[in-house]
Amino acid sequence: MELLLKLCTSPVKAAYGDVVSQKLADEVTSRHKQFNVAAAAYALDLAHGLGILNENNTWTHKGHLLALNAKIGDRGIEGEFQLDAAERLTHFRLFLEADGASLRYIARIALAGKKIPEDHDWNRFAREMFNDIYGAYLAVTSDIADRLAIRKELDRLKAPFAGKTGAHKSYIHLQAMFRMGLLQRTDHAPQREYEVAEGAGEGLNALLRLIPTVSALEEIVEKGRWSAIAAEVFHVGRGPEIAPRALLHVVAQIYRRISETGVPLCSLSTLVDAVQIDLMTSGSRLLSKDEIVVTLTGLQKERPKDVRFHVDRRGRLAFVKMSEELTEQL
């Protein structure tokens, strides 16, 4: 996702999917890994699913967040897979919102002391996972159209997966948790197994405790409380509270990096998420979304000509624009 975003797409220029896929295939291949255009197209679909690229293949607010924290060098592909703390938190934020139900299911299975998959049966594991997730959503969904769509998926799952289908549907979730340091992977040729990573048990237990149901997950996503979950899962955000002036300095630094991409307005969601990740990786106490927004609105009252907010279609604060003079001063 980081290679796709920073080397194959743009924050402001649209691109055709086949062009982006070819670029990604070339980038991965240059890092000594076989990777064809079809695989790159699947990765592009994942980027759309995670919400980091829009239909024109330009960066969304989540894409800007990933770009802020992505670390890309000239290493081989395995070297690129080594994520630092900021990258782990960023990917956790993306996957929690896009596929948090899968993270919950895998955490529950792994904490039960089971190797994933049991008996090396990927098709059974994937089928059971999707049955569990769709069943959980069906139990809490009242919208008729949504219920029909979920029932259709459950009907499709009555036929067992065949071939490598189960593995392909499972790897993306398991590998994500492995790269984040939540699972450990053992290879037994030609198979692989996953289990709880050393020291990650408490974090996975926190994930299940704080997100006991899919309804709780959807509420967390809706209210933008992902960072509170991340702080418990990764044991961060528990240091001293950052001073107000230092907080504004962080805000200004991140704002300038976003504005340098050429976007006319800075997404408030990107700015808040990036500030929270900075706090969690710098040893400071995590501030909530509301606390950071209050700080920004307070700054706007002091400097109304230098800080301007823009709202979305629902009238909610969605974008912010700061003057260059103010960001330099901060």
Amino acid at the residue 153: E
Which residues in the chain show pLDDT less than 70? 189
Q: Percent helix, strand and coil across the chain, each rounded to 5?
A: 60, 10, 30
What is the C-alpha separation between 94 and 70, in angstroms, rounded?
Answer: 13
Tell me the whole-structure pTM to 2 decimals: 0.94
Helix (H) / strand (E) element for 216: namely helix 214-223
CB 116 within 8 A of CB 193: yes
- Structure confidence at residue 78 (pLDDT): 85
- Structure confidence at residue 114 (pLDDT): 86
- Structure confidence at residue 72 (pLDDT): 92
- Structure confidence at residue 120 (pLDDT): 85
What CATH class has 244-329? mainly alpha
Q: Taking the alpha carbons of 191, 33, 84, 22 in that order, is the dihedral positive or negative?
A: negative
Nearest to 85 by CA among 220, 217, 181: 181
Nearest to 63 by CA among 46, 79, 81: 46
- Structure confidence at residue 119 (pLDDT): 83
- Structure confidence at residue 118 (pLDDT): 86
CB 216 within 8 A of CB 103: no
- Structure confidence at residue 19 (pLDDT): 98
Please give the share of the chain, as a percent, with pLDDT higher than 70: 100
- Domain assignments of the chain as residue spans, ordered by start: 1-82, 84-235, 244-329
User: CB-based burial of residue 191 (10 Å sphere; 0-12 exposed, 13-18 middle, 19+ buried)?
Assistant: exposed
Give the C-alpha distances (Å, rounded to integers) separating 303 from 90, 264, 306, 311: 31, 20, 5, 19
**Angle in degrees, 0-180, between the axes of helices 122-140 and 165-179, rounded to the nearest 10:** 80
Q: Say how far residue 39 (Cα) sits from the centre of its chain.
A: 20
